[in-house]
Amino acid sequence: MRPSRPGRNRRLRGVPLVVPFLLPCLLPLVAIAGSDYSDKDFAVRLPPAFLRFTEVATMGGETVANRMSSAINPASTAWLELPGDLGVVLAPYYSPVMFDNGTNIHVVGESATVKAGWLGVIQPTISQIRSNDATMRNGREFDYTVDSYQVQWGKRCGQWAGGATFNFARAEVIQDSTVAPGIHIHTKGVSESYRWRFGGLYEPVEKWLLGAIFEYGFQPFRIRTIVPGMPIPPDRGVQHQFVLRPGVSYEYSPLSSVFLDYQFGYFRNPEDNLHSHRFTAGVDHRLLEWLFIRGSVGLDVRGNVGLGGGLSIFPARWCSLDLGYKYDVLPELHQEFGRSHTIQVAFNVRF
């Protein structure tokens, strides 16, 4: 085979780094106006934002067609052989989400990935979400607490890989407001969430990887509102959610790739429903032997654009550090909280 000309390689090398950020140009400029979701109930806007709270940007990027990370697709846990003699990876992470109105949400998680022989790979994860007590733009005080428990499994067979996730979470939302002197309204919502996610990966040709996930979940909820001198019966119901996300990635150089995902979500309760359409494109580039950099852009059909970036550092073969930043990736919560700034820190230890 005749080698490529060095000049041509230099010209093409930077192309994958710019491709993801051309995504907003695919829609007319009129559409990129940034419409919020104020026409929808808060109860159906919070679940799609919750899904992105725990999508940590690590190696391979935020794609369902990821060769290395398992944050979105459970099949990714088994695509590459786990490093280390025991095949065990421990990964604690911390992610603060800071909103313009002063609300801060802290996400803390602890994850273990274990090679289980012919069964494949198993990954249990527990996480805790806590917020400060701040006032939303509608004048209400907001307090948010979630405890989440998850286990996922993945197994690879040749050019295919499959996986599944079960997640249980208990959430508590408290809102307080004063509508008039001496009249204080206290609202407390409690829910249990049960979610099942199924994922797959397929490599049709070398360097190309196709991925997809489907998720269904339901959340029984109870809401109690206390108004002095006005008895209000508790509100009960069940909320459902469906998520479908296909994606594709291309490895343009060893351990460097670009990707494009589309996600459809449907969230409904007895009072309202939300259809969500979101595109995500990004690049994960190996800059040095020990350093990876990444960038991404997200766009929904309402014209909201969010940006993300990060890096991975490998100081030794047995450990790595992932750092990330996201700007305004939670447009569903604009009405109450404003724009968001998300920082992500994850540390991996391999045995």
What pLDDT is recorded for position 40?
A: 93
CATH number of the domain that residue 165 is part of: 2.40.160.40
Structure token pair of residue 40: 């929808």
In a domain, 8, yes or no: no
In a domain, 55, yes or no: yes
Q: Residues 78, 26: contact at Cβ < 8 Å?
A: no
Task: Say which DSSP state 346 is in.
Answer: E
**How far apart are alpha carbons 265 and 274 in whole angstroms?**
8
- Residues 311-338 have pLDDT tens digits of 999 999 899 999 999 999 999 999 999 9
What pLDDT is recorded for position 242?
A: 98
Residue 29, domain extent: 19-350
What pLDDT is recorded for position 20?
A: 52
What pLDDT is recorded for position 33?
A: 52
**How far apart are alpha carbons 42 and 168 in whole angstroms?**
21
3-state secondary structure of 119: helix
In a domain, 4, yes or no: no
Kindly provide the b/e burial profile for residues 105-133, where b requires at least 16 CB atoms within 10 angstroms of the residue's own CB: bebebebebbbeeeebbbbebebebebee
In a domain, 3, yes or no: no
Q: Residues 283, 293: contact at Cβ < 8 Å?
A: no
Concatenating the DSSP letter of every residue in 252-321 gives EETTEEEEEEEEEEEEE-SS-EEEEEEEEEEEEEEEETTEEEEEEEEEETTS-EEEEEEEEEEEETTEEE
What pLDDT is recorded for position 85?
A: 80
Task: Say which DSSP state 3 is in.
Answer: P
In a domain, 303, yes or no: yes
In a domain, 12, yes or no: no
**How far apart are alpha carbons 266 and 44 in whole angstroms?**
9
Domains identified in the chain, total number:
1
Instruction: For the chain, give percent helix, strand, coil, nearest 5.
Output: 15, 60, 30
Which parts of the chain register pLDDT below 70? 1-34, 57
Q: Is 23 left (phi over 0), alpha (psi -120 to 50) or beta?
A: alpha
In a domain, 14, yes or no: no
In a domain, 2, yes or no: no
What pLDDT is recorded for position 161?
A: 98
**How far apart are alpha carbons 240 and 169 in whole angstroms?**
14
**How far apart are alpha carbons 16 and 261 in whole angstroms?**
16
